[in-house]
Chain A
């Protein structure tokens, strides 16, 4: 299984998409973290460290979550299309081991991508003489990584059965619903009827990405942390991963 995970990781981080989007993300991050941006919040230019960090984290979160979807989208369908599945399955690898390994490989590639994007945040901490913030920054990125991990796992699991374009669109929908979780939750709770029940059920299965991101930001700024959104995201990640044990294609 380790060989499969390693191979998947190596293949994913070689994708052109990964490098292009990653490069754009790093440019945005460097642009903001060097203080040369014209970004304003409530009419005030964002230049201070405490102001910039949440902005940088949000942008890094946005780009790396999109990358998580893109990186994980094609891994499993490609294996089936190229028939590489044949040479793996005849070697006694069970379908669940195969799907689980590919999903873990995708998750690791997504995390690698997230940490690469946030490397500029570490540089930022050093440049501002905030060396003590390196470890909190690392923890903060690790917490944000939960969002990427969930997205990567969800997209990987969906791609076992669904066509690539449906998986991609659904992945983006999950991300949008996760970011707007609070707003959508309020709307669903105020609405009535079957639609509202369905909306509540859907939201129950999607982590609150913005809440997780907020906790990540709190780690860095020293604000109190609410473990609830982190734990519920981890539970949903576990549920998504466990689907790799039961889903497989009928014909390989």
Chain B
């Protein structure tokens, strides 16, 4: 069952085409990877799906009742708030009642390993902690679709492993997830299917089975013409 369908997405910034006729769909329970070099149009695509930017062309078909969670690439939270207060703030915006909010906040802070820092002000959080807090707030309200923009960006090796572990765990719980990343290994480890974007266009698409005979790196280089610079850190 399709949970999201993007058809012929186009985004123009002045005369520059950031996204050029991109079409793809996401199945329920699937983990879709959006892979591409920096500036390929991945974040713009995500913003179009989230309704944060207008579409110059094409359409996004998504059930209006579907709850979406979003974790941005460079999360910013009000520095005077504690981790708990950040979660409480977003739960209020989502109109979660106090009891449900407290239950979810406790569970999510536990899940992301931030329970011990819940009372600490966000200004004292490390980059990794902020990324985990962004991840936690994205899960508030138990969204059916989770969109993660560069979830391992700026994390050290241990943080990366932990974050990918969390994503794997949610995948096995049946969440539909879209991961936007320029790091091949992250996508290779987690995604059921990968869409390769280059210059705003769909440059390739692979499934887990395709990766049995070809590495994602080979497919990626082939798709983008071997000129793109991508992160290959593990």
Contact = CB atoms under 8 A, between A and B. Distances in A.
B94 interface: yes
Contacts of A88: 93
B125 interface: no
Please give me the 8 A-B residue pairs with the lowest Cβ-Cβ distance, nearest first: A3-B92, A82-B76, A91-B93, A90-B70, A91-B94, A90-B50, A14-B80, A252-B52
A16 B72 CA distance: 28
B51 interface: yes
Interface string B65-97: 000101010111110110000000110111000
Interface stretch (A4-12, A129-137, A168-176): A4-12
B137 A83 contact: no
| Chain A interface SS verdict (over half) | helix
Interface residues of B, number: 22
B133 to A, nearest CB: 11
Interface in A53-97: 82-93
B53 A252 contact: yes
A4 B52 contact: no
A250 B72 CA distance: 19
Contacts of A250: 54
Nearest to B93: A91
Interface in A194-252: 250-252
Contacts of A2: 92
A10 B89 CA distance: 12
Given A7-B78, A14-B80, A84-B76, A91 B90 contact: yes
Interface in A15-73: none
B74 A83 contact: yes
Contacts of B92: 2-3
14 contacts: A3-B89, A3-B92, A3-B93, A10-B80, A11-B78, A11-B80, A14-B80, A83-B72, A87-B70, A87-B75, A89-B50, A90-B68, A91-B93, A252-B52
Interface residues of A, number: 22
Contacts of B94: 91-92
A89 B80 CA distance: 21
Interface string B37-67: 0000000000100111110000000000000
B53 A251 contact: yes
A212 B218 CA distance: 73
Given A7-B89, A91-B94, A86 B70 contact: yes
B52 A86 contact: yes
A197 B68 CA distance: 52
A92 B143 CA distance: 13
Contacts of B68: 90
Contacts of A90: 50-52, 68, 70
Contact of B93 (A4, A85, A251): A4
B191 to A, nearest CB: 22
Contacts of A86: 47, 50, 52, 70, 72
A93 B92 CA distance: 11
B204 to A, nearest CB: 28
A250 B78 CA distance: 23
B76 to A, nearest CB: 4
Interface string A127-168: 000000000000000000000000000000000000000000
Contacts of B77: 84
A82 B122 CA distance: 15
B67 to A, nearest CB: 9
Contact of A87 (B53, B72, B81): B72
Contacts of B80: 10-11, 14
Contacts of B76: 82-84
Nearest to A98: B93
B53 A89 contact: no
Nearest to A13: B80
A220 to B, nearest CB: 36
